[in-house]
Amino acid sequence: MVTALHQIPVGEVWTVDEIKLRQRMIADAGMEWTVVESLPVHEGIKTKSGNWDQLIANYQESLRNLGTCGIKVVTYNFMPILDWMRTDVSFELPEGSKALRFERLAFVAFDLFLLKRPGAEQDYSPAEVEAASRHFEAMSPEARQALFRNALLGLPGSDVPFTPEIILNTLGTYTNIDTAALRLNLKAFLQAIVPVAEQAGLKMAIHPDDPPYSILGLPRIVSTAADLDFLLEACPSPANGLCYCTGSLGARADNDLLGIIDKHGRQIHFVHLRNVRRDAAGNFYEANHLDGDVDMYAVIKKLIEVMQETGNALTLRPDHGHQMLDDLQKTTYPGYSAIGRLKGLAELRGLEHGILHSL
């Protein structure tokens, strides 16, 4: 089972009592909780400001408590302010199911004309600003409202959306933080928590940026193969590793997904399998798990080879899924409807089964 204690505010300690309560709930359903997704990183840690020392101490205590309770893997991300970003959470596919989509021009329009981020126009070319303006003018009031709502979705596990005030106020804390500074803050975080995780018997798995490039003028530092090299070299340890997400990494054509496994396969501790169909303009939508631009056969084959070489089983899950059939009539967190994810899981397990029998 992969889950998290979403009810605990970011930055507070996950106590042994709360962890065991969730474990009993899962055990009563005949399953075991082995992977945390996610133990969120507070903005004060990412910016290394305010009560950074206390936030780090709380994170370390949460890790010790998770290790005491027998958890094996802890997932987290280091994306400034926002988690994953989509401009359309109901992108209709030809067969009638709905997918998640990121349209760069729509996001630029949101940034400039809905969020109205001060200085946003400096982050885009004049041609992009002009194109976004035309795009925005052509949108209906309903389409603008949907874009606004989609871009401000709260984090998975939360029903509380972001507000423009929250986003704009938090952006102010990143005024003097560029890519180099954020990398140093990530390094400080890793050096503080990885030894604790190692002692607690945990594997840390950082999730790549989604999408894997700058948004809102903020640096993103877990987007490329070079970024992965940096964070693994920043604190060498068996406990410092990756959540290998084929969707996030695959949204960039210049990311060699198979090369990343070849280089860092032993540091992959958790796997998200998701496919995307992308274009040269930076747009992408989430395709069926076995379609899209990610060669899922080659990816799974390489991951199986890593598991056979190391003798360690990797936990994987189908990341996101299309909304289809009965789930079209239900209210679910975008990407997390049941039927589409079960379809993806069935396809991925079938592919894995076939590969295993062919080796």
- DSSP reduced 3-state for 307: helix
pLDDT of residue 154: 65
* Burial zone of 336 (CB within 10 Å; 0-12 exposed, 13-18 middle, 19+ buried): middle
pLDDT of residue 159: 63
Question: Pairing between strand 276-278 and 203-206?
Answer: unpaired
pLDDT of residue 155: 64
Taking 50 as the pLDDT cut, the residues of the chain under it are none
Output phi, psi for 102, to 5 deg.
Answer: -120, 120
Distances (CA, A) of 221 to 25, 36, 79, 95, 241: 36, 22, 8, 37, 15
pLDDT of residue 158: 60
For 163-314, strand residue ranges (E) read 203-206, 240-245, 268-273, 276-278, 284-286
Amino acid in position 110? F
Tokens matching residue 177 = 């933080």
Annotate 128-140 with b (16+ C-beta within 10 A) or e (fewer).
bbebbeeebeebe
H or E element: which one contains 74?
strand 73-76
């290790």: which residue's tokens? 67
**pLDDT digits over 216-229, tens only?**
999 999 999 999 99
Find out whether 278 and 322 touch, Cβ atoms under 8 Å: no
Active site residues: 207, 245, 272, 319-320, 336
Tokens matching residue 98 = 């709905």
Output phi, psi for 336, to 5 deg.
Answer: -120, 25
